[in-house]
Amino acid sequence: MSETGSSKVETSGYLQDCWIFKAPLRPVKSDWYLGKLGCDSVLSYELKQCGYEPRNPCHSIRVWHVHASQVRHYTTEDKISGTYLCVEQTS
């Protein structure tokens, strides 16, 4: 969202910044926290390994990812290592 309050739908790349689960959730392997660079793509992979089918219905479920500042508490050196799975955008 811009300073004027307008927003745009990001359609490039693989956007995976919001997660919705139906409980109960089976244990998923991780030694990292959400919010770290690369965590969403590694989480997608680990969910797939646990038998889940990650989906990315970003054209039918709208999420506003707002950064109130440009301050980040990580660098590219903090990027989560592991196997990445990028989930295609769908309706």
pLDDT in tens, 2-34: 667 777 766 666 678 889 998 999 999 889 988
pTM of the predicted model, to two decimals? 0.81
In sequence order, the 6+-apart residues with CB closer than 8 A to the CB of 58 are: 15, 89, 90
Q: How many CA atoms lie within 13 A of 60 on its CB side?
A: 5
**What is the pLDDT at residue 1?**
59
CA distance 69 to 12: 22
- CA torsion 62-31-67-83 (nearest 10°) is -60
> How sure is the predictor about 52, in pLDDT bands with cuts at 50, 70 and 90?
very high
